[in-house]
Structures are given as C-alpha cells and as structure tokens.
Structure 1
Amino acid sequence: MIQIEHLTKRYGNFTAVDDVTFTAQPGRVTGFLGPNGAGKSTLMRMLCGLTPPTSGSATVLGMKYADLPNPIKHVGVMLDAAAQHPGRTGAEVLALAGLIAGASKSRVAEMTDTVGLTPAETKRRVKDYSLGMRQRLGIAGALMGDPKILVLDEPANGLDPAGIHWMRGLLGDYAANGGTVLLSSHLLGEVQVIAHDLVMIGHGKIVAQGSMQELLSSKEQGSVVDSMTRQDLVSAVQAAGGTITQRPDGAFDVNLLPPKMGQVALDAKVPLVLLRERDQNNLEQLFLTLTQDTARQEIR
C-alpha cells in the first residue's frame, strides 16, 4: 500500500505539490494523471526519498522509503528510463540490480524474458538502446527484487502498440497477484483500460480521485455543441436557463440533452455545426475538463 498524506513541496514562493492526500491499494492499478508541470514527478520523487517534502508524509508498506530494509526488495521504481548508465550492457544493468536485491543469477534471464528483451539485446550497451528498449529494461530492473509495489513514471513512452499491449498485460497480472501499482502516463486510453483507480492533479492540487467507474459515471449528462455564431449560441443557452462552458477544442459543453439543445438553437435561429450527446465514458475528455487552465472559466 502507498499512503500519501497532506504532502506538500515548495520551492521558494512556488508550490509544486499542494496538500495532496491519496492511497494506492494492493491488488489495484492507480493511474496518476495531470498535465505537464502539475507535480506528478515531484510527488513520485518525494515518495521514493529523492526529494524531501516541505510537509506531509509519503509511506510505502507503512514506512518511509528510506527506512525500508533494502528498498529494492519491496518497491520497484522506474522514474526515468533514460537515466540508466549508457556504457553498461542491459545484462550488466540487471545483474547490478540483482546483486543489490540479493536475487539469484537466474533472475536476470527470467526478467529479460518477462519484458521481452532477447539475449542478443541484453549484450548491447544501453547507449544503443531505443527508448522502448530502455523502458523494458527499466521495468525489468524495477521487478528484480520481486517487490510488492511498483512506482512507474511514464513507462509507456517509446513503446510501440505491441509493447503497450504487453505492458498492459504485465501490470494487470501484477495487480491481480496482489501487487500495488502507481502509474503516471499521458496515454489516457491505456490508463482507462488498465487502471482501477485514478488520482488527477492540476497546479499541484488534486482535482479528482476515485475509482475509474465512479469518475467516468459522475460526469454530468448534456451535449457537446458548436456554432459559427458562438456568442449567439452562448446567449441562447443562457436565456434558456442552461450552463455552457467552452472546451479545450473550442466547442462547448452544455447541460442540456441534444433534443432540448436542438430546440433551443432552433427557437433562437442559431445554426449549429456540431451537436451530440456528451461522452460519459471518455477519460480523455474528463481529464481535459478537470485540468484545463483555470483561466478558462464558465462563460456568463
């Protein structure tokens, strides 16, 4: 289990992480989402003891990461696949991780097979690896100690569709066997497929958290609508007692279902170029809505 309680990190007058609290449970994959600069990597670094928090706490298995006896045996971490030593071979990187973890020599071959690296590839130096190969090597290293928890920052970067499918199965099986996974990613479609729970942050603060099902079903019903005469559209919706909010793509979210919205536009003689029911099961749209710039407020 991972427990984050009132975690805060300030750099001078800038607050990177602001009073964040959440729990990642065993047997579940927790998707940790937010736009660039939202504080995801800073929080993960605090969790793994690389950055001291200003206040609050981050614990794994009830202890601070730094207080765990031989942490690699309890928590598998991959925060930056590109940080591996470029002059070592893949086999040497994993052998060193195995030595730290006290794992048998056969564990190296077992993990390279698990992540789909061939014996020939493990003999190559890391500087000659593609990003996708470095991601696979990083995940293998995180698994070397047979940990109960995985903390992965953007593990799907550089993976091709087959690699993403492989990672989905790997993490799904890991959680199904009782492991705890905290996963950050910008591939929202993949997060929607694999994650059981979500934590979304923006500007260092949590904007939403809960199970995938709860968050996607909590979205208010309504329409997505657009017009060549947008100000007339805004005025028509407001005159009808509805609320209208501009989306990141320029169209509008309206709290009126399509039949009602269509009638409002017809009565006001506003030509529509888009009218459809709001997607209730789209993580990408939920993400964009919850983390869009705070300057983009409801139009009045």
Structure 2
Amino acid sequence: MIEIQGLTRTYGATTAVDDVTFTVEPGRVTGFLGPNGAGKSTTMRMICALTRPTSGQSLVLGRRYEDIPNPGRTVGVLLDAQAQHGGRTGREALTVSALTMGLDRRRVDEMLELVGLTPAEARRRVGGYSLGMRQRLGIANALLGDPQVLVLDEPANGLDPAGIHWMRTLLADFTRAGGTALLSSHLLREVEVIADDLVVIGRGRIVARGTKAELLATGGAVVRSADDATLLVALQQAGLDAVESPGGGLVVEAEPAVVGRVAVDRGIALTELRPSDGGGLEERFLQLTAADAREGVHR
C-alpha cells in the first residue's frame, strides 16, 4: 500500500503539488493521470524520496521510502527510462543493481528473460538501445528485487503494441499476486484497460479519484452542432466546462438537458446530444482536466 497524505511541493512562488492525498491499494493497479505539468512526476519523485516535500508525507507499506532498508527489495521504481548509464551493457546495469541489493546474479538472467531482452541485446551498451529496449531494461531493474510495490512513470512509452500487451499482462500478474502498482501514463486507452482505480491531477491538485467504474459512470454530455465554435463559447458563457473532443463535437461537464437548454436559448441547432457515460476514459479525462490542459489530450 502507498498512502499519500497532504503532499505539497513549492518552488518559490510556484506550487507544483498542492495538498495531494490518495491511497494506492494492494492487489490493484492505480492509474495516475493528468495533463503535462500537472504534478504527476513530482508526486512520484516525492514518494521515492528523490524530491523533498514542502509539507505532507508519503508512506510505502507504512514507512517513508528513505526509512526502508534496502528499498529496492520492497519498492520497484521506474521514473525515467532514459536515465541509465549509456556506457554499460544491459547485463552490467542489472548486475550492478543486483549486487547493490545483495541478490544472486542468477536473478539478472531471470529478469532479462522476463522482459524479453535477448542475450545479444543484453551484451549491447545501453547507449545504443531504442527507447522501447530502455523501458524493458528499466522494468527489469524495477522488478529485480522482487518488490511488493511498483511505482512506474510512463512505463509504456516507446513500447510497440506487443510490448504494451506484455506489460499489461505483467502488471495484472503482479497485482493478482497481491502487489501494489502506481502507474502514470498518457496512453489513456491502455490505462482504461489495465487500471482498477484512477487518480486525476490538474495544476497540482487532485480533481478526481475513485474506482474506474465510479469515475467513468459520472454524468456529462457529448454534443455536436452545425457550429461547434459558437456553441463552445455559449456553453462557457453559461458557466459550463466544455472542451473540444478529439473525435469531433464537444464534451461538456453537465447533463444533456442543461446543454440542450443553452443551445435552444442561443438558437443553435444540434446534430447530436447524448450522455457521455459510454465515451470512456478519454472523454472523462477531457472533462476533468479541461481547465488544466496545456496541450490537449495525448493519446
């Protein structure tokens, strides 16, 4: 279990993470979502004691990360697949970690096989790896100590479809055995498939949290018209959160009847108006982060 309580981080006058509180339960994958710059990576770095919080705390299995003896045997961490020694081979990188944790060298071979790095690839220097290979090596390093908890920031970045499927299966097996997994990703459809719980952050604050079923069942509307630009302005002037949908039309944080009344009042003809419940995580993400997104939704 990971318990995050009032976690805050400021840099001068800027608040990067603002009073963040949530729990990552054992036996479940928790998806941690938010626009670029929302505070996801800073929060994960504070969990792993790489960034000191201004206030609040995070506990992993009831302890601060820095108080855990030999933490790699308890918490597997992948925050940046690029941050690996380019001059070492893949095998050397894992061997250094294994020796640091007091593990048998045979564990290195087990992990290389698990993540699908061949003997020839393991002999290559990491500097010559593709991003996908670096991700596999980073995941191998996170799993090396047979941890109970995983903290993974964008682990699917650079993986091909087969690699993403492999990672999905790996995380499902890990949590099925009682492990705790916190996963951030901009691949919303993948998170929708694998996550049991969701935490959404925007501008450093939690904007929603709950089970996947709870958050995706929340009301809202999808609307299309002959003039979506005019309709968007009308909805926003009426005080409703509305954003453009990647698939066309608008996603609105309001019941369809409310949206319809605004359109009627402004004389805007609608071509589609429906509840957004069936739209999936992408539409819900747009609704929750409409005021916080810098570059729109990343798929």
TM-score by length of 2: 0.88
The 5-angstrom pairing of residues 211-230 of structure 1 reads 211-220=211-220, 222-228=221-227
The 5-angstrom pairing of residues 1-300 of structure 1 reads 1-220=1-220, 222-228=221-227, 231=230, 245-249=241-245, 251=250, 253=252, 255-256=255-256, 261=260, 270-272=268-270, 274-281=271-278, 282-293=280-291
Provide the secondary structure at the position in 1 that maps to 2:21.
strand
Deviations 1:136-174, CA, capped at 9 Å, x for gaps: 000000001000000000000000111000000000110
Classify 1:229/1:286 alpha carbon distance in 2 versus 1 (closer, same or farther; 3 Å). closer
State how far apart, in whole Å, the 1-side matches of 2:184 and 2:100 are: 26
Supply the AA of the counterpart residue of 1:224: V
Classify 1:225/1:14 alpha carbon distance in 2 versus 1 (closer, same or farther; 3 Å). same
Classify 1:224/1:89 alpha carbon distance in 2 versus 1 (closer, same or farther; 3 Å). same
- Displacement after TM superposition at 1:218 (Å): 1.8
Supply the AA of the counterpart residue of 1:131: L
Classify 1:268/1:157 alpha carbon distance in 2 versus 1 (closer, same or farther; 3 Å). closer
* Contact 2:38/2:203, CA 8 A, preserved across alignment: yes
- Displacement after TM superposition at 1:243 (Å): 8.0
State how far apart, in whole Å, the 1-side matches of 2:141 and 2:96 are: 9
- Displacement after TM superposition at 1:279 (Å): 3.1
Classify 1:234/1:173 alpha carbon distance in 2 versus 1 (closer, same or farther; 3 Å). same
State how far apart, in whole Å, the 2-side matches of 1:97 and 1:66 are: 18
Q: Unpaired runs of 5+ in structure 1?
A: none
State how far apart, in whole Å, the 2-side matches of 1:229 and 1:129 are: 45
Supply the AA of the counterpart residue of 1:284: E
How many pairs are equivalent?
Answer: 287
State how far apart, in whole Å, the 1-side matches of 2:164 and 2:276 are: 25
Provide the secondary structure at the position in 2 that maps to 1:150.
strand
Classify 1:59/1:257 alpha carbon distance in 2 versus 1 (closer, same or farther; 3 Å). same
Q: Unpaired runs of 5+ in structure 2?
A: 295-299
CA-based RMSD: 2.6
* Contact 2:36/2:293, CA 8 A, preserved across alignment: no
Provide the secondary structure at the position in 2 that maps to 1:83.
coil
* Contact 1:9/1:54, CA 8 A, preserved across alignment: yes
State how far apart, in whole Å, the 2-side matches of 1:62 and 1:295 are: 34
Supply the AA of the counterpart residue of 1:246: A
Deviations 1:81-134, CA, capped at 9 Å, x for gaps: 000000000000111111122221111111111111111100000011000000
* Contact 2:82/2:134, CA 8 A, preserved across alignment: yes
Largest Rg, 1 or 2: 1
